[in-house]
Amino acid sequence: MNTCTPVIFDERKGQIHRKGESPFEMDCNRESLAGAVSQRACVFCGSRVVLYPIADAVHLVHGPIGCAAYTWDIRGALSSGPELHRLSFSTDLQEKDVIFGGEEKLYKALTELIDRHAPKAAFVYSTCIVGIIGDDLRAVCGRVSEEKGIPVIPVQSEGFKGNKREGYHAACAALFQLVGTGDATGISPFSLNILGDFNLAGEIWIVREYFRRMGVEVVANITGDGRVDDIRRAHGAALNVVQCSGATMDLAVMMEERYGTPFLRVSYFGVEDMAESLYAVARFFEKEDPGMMERTRELVKEELSLLYPRLQDYRRALEGKKAAIYVGGAFKAFSLVKAFRLLGMQVVLVGSQTGTVEDYRELHDITDEGTIIVDDSNPLELSSFLKEKDVDVFVGGVKERPIAYKLGAGFCDHNHERKEPLEGFIGMLNFAREVYSSAMSPVWRFVPRRTGKRD
């Protein structure tokens, strides 16, 4: 008998859908319910997620020290050169600054950091308290930019303005101030910008190598292993490819409207989506370079010939096991569902912090009957669903890891702290290995799984 009754607030019932029990309908993109302990982050978090991987810029948090502590070396975003992005700077606003204003403190912090580190640009993040006291970020940034001769860009990311998605928009607005300010001469007609990839564990290097083998130049990484000068000339690329579309789709739209740069939505997770992303780029350039599609087919064939034999052992061990997914952006969840299917596993729970109705409708279409689809969940709900569905492995981020381990389930980190690349064809192999190692670990013999069923 199933004795696990999910604890769901009445106000959240519209944000949870069980496929097959009723016609599809989802509420989303709402303010998090007070007291529900949402896993969703604030506007400031959304902005720093996008911008912090720009490696040769200063990132200064204008606010109390607690906000900056949240960013300290926060990402697994690697750099092939400078690592200024791994430092977290703050104006450390105190009570006196709240009363009398923090503009002078911000000015002194900016000038000192620029003199000391000689960055290519500086991003200044506004936090909740700054929005309340009314410091004029634009005026201070403009003054310092004029004095120091580099872009000093305000990021209007006051946490209380909305949720993480609003932070994505603030970051894209800041990036757009850089785009178009550099010299775009000499860029190949077969060129693109990579948007929405943050080079976690070096993943963008894998994807760039695929494009090189196809004959495509990558102009700018936006923003993993990013460089200010590359972003300034990004408007010269022939195409934008947008992964994690919730984070950088706004920038792609802005660039299309002003510079006429078309964009494609892509995903580098899983075999099916990785291959289709490469084919989509080849189709875009096919008329001007008829040989590109053949090169792409050879690339995919070569990679799959190495990958598939090695996946079979993992599939035999994992087939029939149950998986749950809860990630920041819904777009990556599509690829994860397909990746688990390739391993013979069943996805029984899938959700995100920032999905749209269209995202959840697509998840509804590609998942099995009985799958729970959830928006902006909280630990109590997630724990109940994991127990109800008797999940073998949970894919999420750092906040979800303790939930899985306390319930005796395996866990796979698919968020910003991961150390293994999960993109590309080699990434699928790494993903399978990590899922296998966690779900099949002998430790679970000593930590019985907690479910909603009585023995």
> Per-residue pLDDT for 34 more than 70?
no
Q: In the β-sheet with 346-352, what is the strand arrangement from edge to edge?
A: 16-18, 372-375, 346-352, 322-327, 393-396, 410-413
> Which of these ranges, 30-34, 113-117, 120-124, 283-287, has the smallest mean pLDDT?
30-34
What are the pLDDT digits (tens) for 170-215? 999 999 999 999 999 999 999 999 999 999 999 999 999 999 999 9
Q: Cα separation of 119 and 227, whole Å?
A: 10
**Structural domains of the chain, count:** 3
Give the relative orientation of helices 424-439 and 292-318 as an angle to the nearest 10 degrees. 10
Residue 214 and residue 241 in one domain? yes
> Per-residue pLDDT for 9 more than 90?
no
In a domain, 186, yes or no: no
Nearest to 140 by CA among 169, 105, 173, 167: 105
pLDDT of residue 349: 97
Nearest to 87 by CA among 127, 119, 115, 46: 119
In a domain, 309, yes or no: no
Domain span at 363: 10-30+315-445
Total Cβ atoms within 10 A of residue 205: 17
Residue 288 and residue 349 in one domain? no
pLDDT of residue 36: 62
Q: Give me the mean pLDDT over the 419-438 stretch.
A: 95
What are the pLDDT digits (tens) for 68-81? 876 666 567 999 99
Tell me whether strands 121-126 and 322-327 are parallel, antiparallel or unpaired.
Answer: unpaired
Of 280, 302, 324, the last residue of a domain is: 302
Give 260: exposed, middle or buried? Use CB within 10 Å, 0-12, 13-18, 19+: exposed
Average pLDDT in the chain:
92
Give 304: exposed, middle or buried? Use CB within 10 Å, 0-12, 13-18, 19+: middle
pLDDT of residue 74: 59
Residue 217 and residue 267 in one domain? yes
CA distances from 35 to 67, 303, 379 (A): 21, 48, 12
Instruction: Classify 14 as helix, strand or coil.
Output: helix
Q: Cα separation of 415 and 77, whole Å?
A: 11
Give 434: exposed, middle or buried? Use CB within 10 Å, 0-12, 13-18, 19+: buried
If one compares 40 and 228, the residue with the highest pLDDT of the two is 228
In a domain, 248, yes or no: yes
Residue 270 and residue 196 in one domain? yes
Please give the span between the terminal C-alpha atoms of the chain, in angstroms, as a whole number: 9
Q: What are the helix (H) ranges across 1-102?
A: 43-51, 65-69, 95-100
Q: Give me the mean pLDDT over the 309-313 stretch.
A: 94
Residue 293 and residue 408 in one domain? no
In a domain, 3, yes or no: no
Q: Cα separation of 425 and 27, whole Å?
A: 35
Residue 323 and residue 225 in one domain? no
- The enclosing domain of 141 has a CATH number of 3.40.50.1980
If one compares 452 and 405, the residue with the highest pLDDT of the two is 405
Residue 284 and residue 395 in one domain? no
In a domain, 35, yes or no: no
As a whole number of Å, the CA-based R_g of the chain is 23
In a domain, 260, yes or no: yes
> Per-residue pLDDT for 1 more than 50?
no
Given phi > 0 = left and psi -120 to 50 = alpha, else beta, which region is 221? beta
Tokens of 67: 């906000």
In a domain, 4, yes or no: no
Residue 378 and residue 418 in one domain? yes
